[in-house]
Chains A and B, each alone.
Chain A
Protein backbone atom coordinates (compact mmCIF):
# COMPACT_ATOMS: atom_id res chain seq x y z
CA UNK A 1 0.00 0.00 0.00
CA UNK A 2 2.82 2.39 0.81
CA UNK A 3 5.62 3.24 -1.59
CA UNK A 4 8.48 0.95 -0.68
CA UNK A 5 10.90 3.77 -0.17
CA UNK A 6 8.81 5.76 2.25
CA UNK A 7 8.23 3.33 5.12
CA UNK A 8 10.54 0.96 6.91
CA UNK A 9 9.39 -1.85 9.17
CA UNK A 10 11.44 -3.85 11.65
CA UNK A 11 10.76 -7.54 12.32
CA UNK A 12 7.91 -6.63 14.69
CA UNK A 13 6.29 -4.53 12.01
CA UNK A 14 7.12 -1.25 13.75
CA UNK A 15 8.54 1.75 11.96
CA UNK A 16 12.28 2.12 12.49
CA UNK A 17 12.32 5.79 13.38
CA UNK A 18 16.08 6.06 13.24
CA UNK A 19 15.99 5.42 9.49
CA UNK A 20 13.74 8.35 8.81
CA UNK A 21 14.62 12.00 9.14
CA UNK A 22 11.95 13.89 11.06
CA UNK A 23 9.94 16.16 8.82
CA UNK A 24 9.88 19.61 10.34
CA UNK A 25 6.90 21.84 9.71
CA UNK A 26 8.42 25.27 9.14
CA UNK A 27 5.47 27.22 7.76
CA UNK A 28 1.72 27.08 7.24
CA UNK A 29 0.47 25.30 4.12
CA UNK A 30 -2.81 24.12 2.61
CA UNK A 31 -3.75 21.30 0.24
CA UNK A 32 -7.07 20.14 -1.19
CA UNK A 33 -10.37 21.88 -1.75
CA UNK A 34 -13.85 22.02 -0.22
CA UNK A 35 -15.37 20.38 -3.31
CA UNK A 36 -17.40 17.20 -2.89
CA UNK A 37 -15.25 14.09 -2.27
CA UNK A 38 -12.25 16.25 -1.33
CA UNK A 39 -10.75 17.46 1.94
CA UNK A 40 -9.03 20.77 2.59
CA UNK A 41 -6.15 20.35 5.00
CA UNK A 42 -4.25 23.20 6.64
CA UNK A 43 -1.09 22.47 8.58
CA UNK A 44 0.89 24.76 10.86
CA UNK A 45 3.97 24.36 13.06
CA UNK A 46 2.97 22.47 16.21
CA UNK A 47 3.78 22.85 19.87
CA UNK A 48 5.59 19.57 20.44
CA UNK A 49 2.57 17.37 19.75
CA UNK A 50 0.05 16.40 17.08
CA UNK A 51 -3.12 18.45 17.26
CA UNK A 52 -5.90 17.61 14.76
CA UNK A 53 -9.11 19.61 14.34
CA UNK A 54 -11.39 17.61 12.02
CA UNK A 55 -14.65 18.94 10.64
CA UNK A 56 -16.26 16.28 8.45
CA UNK A 57 -19.69 16.05 6.91
CA UNK A 58 -19.46 12.29 7.42
CA UNK A 59 -17.75 12.62 10.81
CA UNK A 60 -20.59 10.91 12.68
CA UNK A 61 -19.75 7.67 10.86
CA UNK A 62 -16.13 7.98 9.77
CA UNK A 63 -14.32 10.33 12.18
CA UNK A 64 -12.26 7.54 13.74
CA UNK A 65 -11.29 6.13 10.34
CA UNK A 66 -10.26 9.55 9.01
CA UNK A 67 -8.17 10.27 12.12
CA UNK A 68 -6.56 6.84 11.84
CA UNK A 69 -5.53 7.54 8.23
CA UNK A 70 -4.13 10.94 9.18
CA UNK A 71 -2.12 9.51 12.06
CA UNK A 72 -0.73 6.81 9.75
CA UNK A 73 0.49 9.49 7.36
CA UNK A 74 2.09 11.47 10.20
CA UNK A 75 3.82 8.31 11.40
CA UNK A 76 4.96 7.44 7.87
CA UNK A 77 6.43 10.91 7.27
CA UNK A 78 7.67 11.08 10.88
CA UNK A 79 6.00 14.32 11.87
CA UNK A 80 5.96 14.54 15.69
CA UNK A 81 4.73 18.09 16.02
CA UNK A 82 2.03 19.73 13.92
CA UNK A 83 -1.31 21.51 14.07
CA UNK A 84 -3.81 20.28 11.50
CA UNK A 85 -7.19 21.63 10.52
CA UNK A 86 -9.20 19.48 8.11
CA UNK A 87 -12.51 20.30 6.42
CA UNK A 88 -13.74 17.04 4.91
CA UNK A 89 -16.40 16.81 2.21
CA UNK A 90 -16.59 13.03 2.05
CA UNK A 91 -13.06 12.26 0.84
CA UNK A 92 -11.95 8.66 0.43
CA UNK A 93 -8.99 7.43 2.51
CA UNK A 94 -6.68 7.75 -0.49
CA UNK A 95 -7.65 11.40 -0.91
CA UNK A 96 -7.16 12.19 2.79
CA UNK A 97 -3.77 10.52 2.61
CA UNK A 98 -2.75 12.44 -0.54
CA UNK A 99 -3.93 15.83 0.68
CA UNK A 100 -2.24 15.49 4.07
CA UNK A 101 1.03 14.38 2.47
CA UNK A 102 0.91 17.33 0.07
CA UNK A 103 0.18 19.83 2.85
CA UNK A 104 2.99 18.47 5.03
CA UNK A 105 5.54 18.43 2.21
CA UNK A 106 4.59 22.01 1.34
CA UNK A 107 4.83 23.07 4.98
CA UNK A 108 8.21 21.39 5.31
CA UNK A 109 9.45 23.11 2.16
CA UNK A 110 9.79 19.81 0.30
CA UNK A 111 7.08 20.22 -2.34
CA UNK A 112 8.25 19.81 -5.95
Chain B
Protein backbone atom coordinates (compact mmCIF):
# COMPACT_ATOMS: atom_id res chain seq x y z
CA UNK B 1 0.00 0.00 0.00
CA UNK B 2 1.45 3.29 -1.06
CA UNK B 3 -0.63 6.35 -0.15
CA UNK B 4 2.31 8.60 0.68
CA UNK B 5 5.84 8.67 -0.67
CA UNK B 6 7.94 10.99 1.52
CA UNK B 7 11.09 12.54 0.10
CA UNK B 8 14.17 12.47 2.34
CA UNK B 9 17.20 14.48 1.16
CA UNK B 10 19.94 11.90 0.64
CA UNK B 11 22.64 13.95 2.32
CA UNK B 12 20.70 14.94 5.45
CA UNK B 13 21.31 12.55 8.37
CA UNK B 14 18.76 14.27 10.60
CA UNK B 15 15.92 13.57 8.17
CA UNK B 16 17.14 10.12 7.20
CA UNK B 17 17.44 8.79 10.76
CA UNK B 18 13.77 9.58 11.41
CA UNK B 19 12.54 8.34 8.03
CA UNK B 20 10.79 5.26 9.36
CA UNK B 21 8.94 7.16 12.08
CA UNK B 22 7.13 9.78 10.03
CA UNK B 23 4.08 7.73 9.06
CA UNK B 24 4.53 7.52 5.29
CA UNK B 25 4.02 4.26 3.45
CA UNK B 26 7.15 4.76 1.35
CA UNK B 27 10.28 6.82 1.83
CA UNK B 28 12.25 8.17 -1.09
CA UNK B 29 15.98 8.63 -0.49
CA UNK B 30 16.70 11.45 -2.88
CA UNK B 31 20.07 11.43 -4.65
CA UNK B 32 18.89 13.90 -7.30
CA UNK B 33 17.62 17.46 -6.79
CA UNK B 34 18.05 17.50 -3.01
CA UNK B 35 21.79 16.82 -3.34
CA UNK B 36 24.31 19.34 -4.70
CA UNK B 37 26.51 18.04 -7.54
CA UNK B 38 29.65 18.08 -5.37
CA UNK B 39 27.92 16.06 -2.64
CA UNK B 40 26.63 13.11 -4.71
CA UNK B 41 29.38 10.83 -3.35
CA UNK B 42 28.58 11.82 0.26
CA UNK B 43 24.85 11.23 -0.23
CA UNK B 44 25.38 7.78 -1.74
CA UNK B 45 27.66 6.82 1.16
CA UNK B 46 25.17 8.14 3.74
CA UNK B 47 22.15 6.39 2.20
CA UNK B 48 24.16 3.18 1.88
CA UNK B 49 25.23 3.31 5.50
CA UNK B 50 21.67 4.12 6.66
CA UNK B 51 20.15 1.26 4.67
CA UNK B 52 22.73 -1.17 6.05
CA UNK B 53 22.18 -0.11 9.64
CA UNK B 54 18.85 1.56 10.41
CA UNK B 55 15.44 -0.07 10.66
CA UNK B 56 12.80 1.71 8.60
CA UNK B 57 10.02 -0.57 9.79
CA UNK B 58 7.31 -1.30 7.26
CA UNK B 59 8.25 1.60 4.98
CA UNK B 60 8.86 0.74 1.38
CA UNK B 61 12.35 1.90 0.36
CA UNK B 62 12.65 3.93 -2.82
CA UNK B 63 15.84 5.55 -4.13
CA UNK B 64 15.53 8.47 -6.54
CA UNK B 65 18.52 8.43 -8.85
CA UNK B 66 19.95 11.07 -11.13
CA UNK B 67 18.80 11.43 -14.74
CA UNK B 68 20.45 9.51 -17.56
CA UNK B 69 21.90 12.69 -19.07
CA UNK B 70 24.06 13.22 -15.95
CA UNK B 71 27.37 11.54 -15.03
CA UNK B 72 25.85 10.17 -11.78
CA UNK B 73 23.11 7.66 -12.60
CA UNK B 74 25.34 4.62 -13.22
CA UNK B 75 27.21 5.09 -9.94
CA UNK B 76 23.84 5.57 -8.23
CA UNK B 77 22.71 2.16 -9.47
CA UNK B 78 26.07 0.46 -8.82
CA UNK B 79 26.00 1.57 -5.19
CA UNK B 80 22.30 1.38 -4.40
CA UNK B 81 21.07 -1.84 -6.04
CA UNK B 82 23.29 -4.14 -3.92
CA UNK B 83 21.37 -2.85 -0.89
CA UNK B 84 18.15 -4.17 -2.42
CA UNK B 85 15.87 -1.16 -2.25
CA UNK B 86 12.28 -2.03 -3.17
CA UNK B 87 12.09 0.56 -5.93
CA UNK B 88 14.36 2.71 -8.09
CA UNK B 89 12.89 6.05 -9.17
CA UNK B 90 14.51 7.36 -12.36
CA UNK B 91 14.00 11.02 -13.19
CA UNK B 92 13.09 12.99 -16.31
CA UNK B 93 12.00 9.79 -18.02
CA UNK B 94 11.17 10.59 -21.61
CA UNK B 95 10.20 7.35 -23.30
CA UNK B 96 10.69 3.61 -23.83
CA UNK B 97 14.24 4.11 -25.14
CA UNK B 98 15.23 5.82 -21.89
CA UNK B 99 13.70 2.94 -19.95
CA UNK B 100 15.52 0.32 -22.05
CA UNK B 101 18.90 1.93 -21.26
CA UNK B 102 18.07 2.08 -17.55
CA UNK B 103 16.74 -1.48 -17.37
CA UNK B 104 19.80 -2.85 -19.18
CA UNK B 105 22.05 -1.28 -16.54
CA UNK B 106 19.82 -2.51 -13.70
CA UNK B 107 19.89 -6.05 -15.15
CA UNK B 108 23.70 -5.89 -15.32
CA UNK B 109 24.15 -4.64 -11.74
CA UNK B 110 21.63 -7.08 -10.27
CA UNK B 111 23.30 -10.01 -12.08
CA UNK B 112 26.75 -8.91 -10.93
CA UNK B 113 25.60 -8.77 -7.31
CA UNK B 114 23.69 -12.06 -7.26
CA UNK B 115 20.31 -10.35 -7.00
CA UNK B 116 17.44 -11.93 -8.97
CA UNK B 117 17.27 -9.95 -12.21
CA UNK B 118 14.10 -7.91 -12.35
CA UNK B 119 13.43 -7.99 -8.61
CA UNK B 120 13.94 -4.24 -8.09
CA UNK B 121 10.83 -2.38 -9.20
CA UNK B 122 10.72 0.98 -10.98
CA UNK B 123 8.51 4.02 -10.45
CA UNK B 124 9.57 6.55 -13.09
CA UNK B 125 9.16 10.26 -12.58
CA UNK B 126 7.44 11.79 -15.60
CA UNK B 127 8.24 15.47 -15.48
CA UNK B 128 8.76 16.53 -19.08
CA UNK B 129 6.24 17.14 -21.85
CA UNK B 130 7.78 14.28 -23.83
CA UNK B 131 7.51 11.96 -20.84
CA UNK B 132 3.82 12.78 -20.39
CA UNK B 133 3.09 12.20 -24.08
CA UNK B 134 4.91 8.83 -23.88
CA UNK B 135 3.31 7.79 -20.58
CA UNK B 136 1.70 4.56 -21.83
CA UNK B 137 4.86 3.46 -23.68
CA UNK B 138 6.85 4.07 -20.49
CA UNK B 139 4.28 2.29 -18.33
CA UNK B 140 4.43 -0.83 -20.51
CA UNK B 141 8.18 -0.76 -21.18
CA UNK B 142 9.29 -3.27 -18.50
CA UNK B 143 7.91 -5.87 -16.11
CA UNK B 144 9.67 -3.95 -13.34
CA UNK B 145 7.16 -1.11 -13.67
CA UNK B 146 5.15 -0.56 -10.46
CA UNK B 147 3.60 2.84 -11.11
CA UNK B 148 3.92 6.15 -12.91
CA UNK B 149 4.62 9.30 -10.91
CA UNK B 150 3.85 12.83 -12.07
CA UNK B 151 6.36 15.60 -11.34
CA UNK B 152 4.74 18.97 -11.92
CA UNK B 153 7.56 21.37 -11.04
CA UNK B 154 9.88 20.49 -13.93
CA UNK B 155 6.88 19.84 -16.16
CA UNK B 156 5.54 23.38 -15.80
CA UNK B 157 8.99 24.73 -16.60
CA UNK B 158 8.95 22.58 -19.75
CA UNK B 159 5.42 23.77 -20.57
CA UNK B 160 6.62 27.35 -20.04
CA UNK B 161 3.81 28.15 -17.64
CA UNK B 162 3.46 29.09 -13.99
CA UNK B 163 2.85 26.39 -11.40
CA UNK B 164 -0.24 27.31 -9.39
CA UNK B 165 -1.95 25.85 -6.34
CA UNK B 166 -5.13 25.29 -8.35
CA UNK B 167 -3.18 23.20 -10.84
CA UNK B 168 -5.21 23.99 -13.97
CA UNK B 169 -1.96 24.05 -15.95
CA UNK B 170 -1.32 20.36 -15.15
CA UNK B 171 -4.90 19.13 -15.61
CA UNK B 172 -4.08 17.52 -18.96
CA UNK B 173 -0.90 15.87 -17.63
CA UNK B 174 -2.73 14.55 -14.57
CA UNK B 175 -5.45 13.03 -16.71
CA UNK B 176 -3.09 11.65 -19.29
CA UNK B 177 -0.77 10.03 -16.74
CA UNK B 178 -3.46 8.34 -14.66
CA UNK B 179 -5.18 7.03 -17.79
CA UNK B 180 -1.89 5.65 -19.16
CA UNK B 181 -1.04 4.03 -15.82
CA UNK B 182 -4.42 2.36 -15.51
CA UNK B 183 -4.26 1.19 -19.12
CA UNK B 184 -0.85 -0.32 -18.34
CA UNK B 185 -2.29 -2.03 -15.25
CA UNK B 186 -0.15 -0.11 -12.78
CA UNK B 187 -0.62 2.56 -10.07
CA UNK B 188 -0.46 6.34 -10.46
CA UNK B 189 1.09 8.83 -8.02
CA UNK B 190 0.51 12.53 -7.92
CA UNK B 191 2.99 15.38 -7.71
CA UNK B 192 3.80 16.90 -4.27
CA UNK B 193 1.99 19.98 -3.00
CA UNK B 194 4.87 22.35 -2.42
CA UNK B 195 3.48 24.86 0.10
CA UNK B 196 4.51 23.24 3.39
CA UNK B 197 2.35 25.56 5.53
CA UNK B 198 -0.92 25.39 3.55
CA UNK B 199 -2.55 22.22 4.89
CA UNK B 200 -5.99 23.24 3.63
CA UNK B 201 -4.63 23.62 0.09
CA UNK B 202 -2.84 20.28 0.45
CA UNK B 203 -6.05 18.47 1.35
CA UNK B 204 -7.89 20.04 -1.57
CA UNK B 205 -5.08 19.10 -3.95
CA UNK B 206 -4.94 15.51 -2.64
CA UNK B 207 -8.73 15.13 -2.94
CA UNK B 208 -8.54 16.33 -6.54
CA UNK B 209 -5.89 13.71 -7.33
CA UNK B 210 -7.86 10.96 -5.60
CA UNK B 211 -10.96 11.99 -7.53
CA UNK B 212 -9.04 11.57 -10.79
CA UNK B 213 -8.04 8.02 -9.88
CA UNK B 214 -4.60 8.49 -8.35
CA UNK B 215 -3.50 5.91 -5.77
CA UNK B 216 -1.46 8.29 -3.65
CA UNK B 217 0.76 11.33 -3.61
CA UNK B 218 4.39 12.19 -3.03
CA UNK B 219 5.09 14.62 -0.17
CA UNK B 220 8.09 16.81 0.50
CA UNK B 221 7.37 17.49 4.17
CA UNK B 222 6.64 15.15 7.10
CA UNK B 223 3.88 17.63 8.00
CA UNK B 224 1.97 16.54 4.90
CA UNK B 225 2.02 12.82 5.61
CA UNK B 226 -1.03 12.41 7.85
CA UNK B 227 -3.29 14.57 5.66
CA UNK B 228 -2.40 12.68 2.48
CA UNK B 229 -2.68 9.30 4.22
CA UNK B 230 -6.15 10.27 5.38
CA UNK B 231 -7.32 11.40 1.94
CA UNK B 232 -6.07 8.24 0.23
CA UNK B 233 -7.40 5.86 2.88
CA UNK B 234 -10.90 4.47 2.43
CA UNK B 235 -13.48 6.25 4.58
CA UNK B 236 -15.74 4.42 7.08
CA UNK B 237 -18.62 4.99 4.64
CA UNK B 238 -16.67 3.46 1.74
CA UNK B 239 -15.69 0.48 3.89
CA UNK B 240 -19.27 -0.07 5.08
CA UNK B 241 -20.55 0.05 1.49
CA UNK B 242 -17.85 -2.37 0.30
CA UNK B 243 -18.81 -4.78 3.08
CA UNK B 244 -22.45 -4.51 2.04
CA UNK B 245 -21.47 -5.31 -1.55
CA UNK B 246 -19.74 -8.51 -0.48
CA UNK B 247 -22.62 -9.41 1.83
CA UNK B 248 -25.03 -8.96 -1.10
CA UNK B 249 -22.83 -11.16 -3.31
CA UNK B 250 -22.72 -13.85 -0.62
CA UNK B 251 -26.50 -13.72 -0.12
CA UNK B 252 -27.19 -13.91 -3.87
CA UNK B 253 -24.92 -16.96 -4.16
CA UNK B 254 -26.73 -18.65 -1.26
CA UNK B 255 -30.05 -18.01 -2.93
CA UNK B 256 -28.75 -19.20 -6.28
CA UNK B 257 -29.50 -15.82 -7.87
CA UNK B 258 -27.60 -14.82 -11.02
CA UNK B 259 -28.25 -11.08 -10.79
CA UNK B 260 -27.16 -9.27 -7.64
CA UNK B 261 -28.60 -5.99 -6.45
CA UNK B 262 -27.97 -3.69 -3.50
CA UNK B 263 -30.41 -0.91 -2.61
CA UNK B 264 -32.01 -1.30 -6.01
CA UNK B 265 -28.70 -1.04 -7.92
CA UNK B 266 -27.06 -3.85 -9.87
CA UNK B 267 -23.77 -5.13 -8.49
CA UNK B 268 -21.55 -5.84 -11.46
CA UNK B 269 -17.91 -6.88 -11.74
CA UNK B 270 -16.39 -3.34 -11.61
CA UNK B 271 -18.36 -2.53 -8.43
CA UNK B 272 -17.23 -5.78 -6.82
CA UNK B 273 -13.64 -5.08 -7.89
CA UNK B 274 -13.77 -1.56 -6.42
CA UNK B 275 -15.21 -2.94 -3.18
CA UNK B 276 -12.37 -5.46 -3.01
CA UNK B 277 -9.78 -2.68 -3.45
CA UNK B 278 -11.42 -0.72 -0.61
CA UNK B 279 -11.46 -3.70 1.75
CA UNK B 280 -7.89 -4.71 0.86
CA UNK B 281 -6.72 -1.17 1.62
CA UNK B 282 -8.69 -1.05 4.86
CA UNK B 283 -7.22 -4.38 5.93
CA UNK B 284 -3.69 -3.18 5.25
CA UNK B 285 -4.14 0.11 7.07
CA UNK B 286 -6.23 -0.87 10.05
CA UNK B 287 -6.17 -4.62 10.25
CA UNK B 288 -9.91 -4.78 9.47
CA UNK B 289 -11.36 -8.07 8.40
CA UNK B 290 -11.30 -8.58 4.67
CA UNK B 291 -13.73 -11.23 3.53
Task: Name A's B-contacting residues (CB within 8 A).
Answer: 1-3, 31-32, 35-38, 91-95, 97-99, 101-102, 105-106, 111-112
Contacts and interface: CB of A to CB of B under 8 A. Distances in A.
B58 to A, nearest CB: 20
A1 B52 CA distance: 6
Interface stretch (B40-48, B149-157, B261-269): B40-48
29 contacts: A2-B52, A3-B52, A3-B82, A35-B12, A38-B13, A38-B14, A92-B13, A92-B53, A94-B46, A94-B49, A94-B50, A94-B52, A94-B54, A95-B13, A95-B17, A95-B46, A95-B49, A95-B50, A98-B42, A98-B45, A98-B49, A99-B42, A99-B45, A101-B45, A102-B45, A105-B41, A106-B41, A112-B40, A112-B41
B111 to A, nearest CB: 15
A92 to B, nearest CB: 6
Nearest to B42: A102
B75 interface: yes
A99 B12 CA distance: 11
Contacts of A37: 13-14, 17
A35 B45 contact: no
B13 A91 contact: yes
B17 A92 contact: yes
B41 A98 contact: no
Interface of B: 12-14, 17, 40-42, 44-46, 48-50, 52-54, 75, 82
Nearest to A100: B45
Contacts of A1: 52-53
Given A95-B46, A98-B48, A105-B41, 4 more contacts: A31-B42, A35-B13, A94-B54, A102-B41
Contacts of B82: 3
Nearest to A112: B75
A97 B13 contact: no
Contacts of A91: 13
Contacts of B14: 35-38
A97 B49 contact: yes
B78 to A, nearest CB: 9
B54 A111 contact: no
B62 to A, nearest CB: 19
A15 to B, nearest CB: 18
Nearest to B52: A1
Contacts of A102: 41-42, 45-46
Contacts of A95: 13, 17, 46, 49-50
A95 B50 CA distance: 7
B154 to A, nearest CB: 25
B115 to A, nearest CB: 12
A22 B40 CA distance: 24
Contacts of B53: 1, 92-94, 97
Contacts of B54: 92, 94
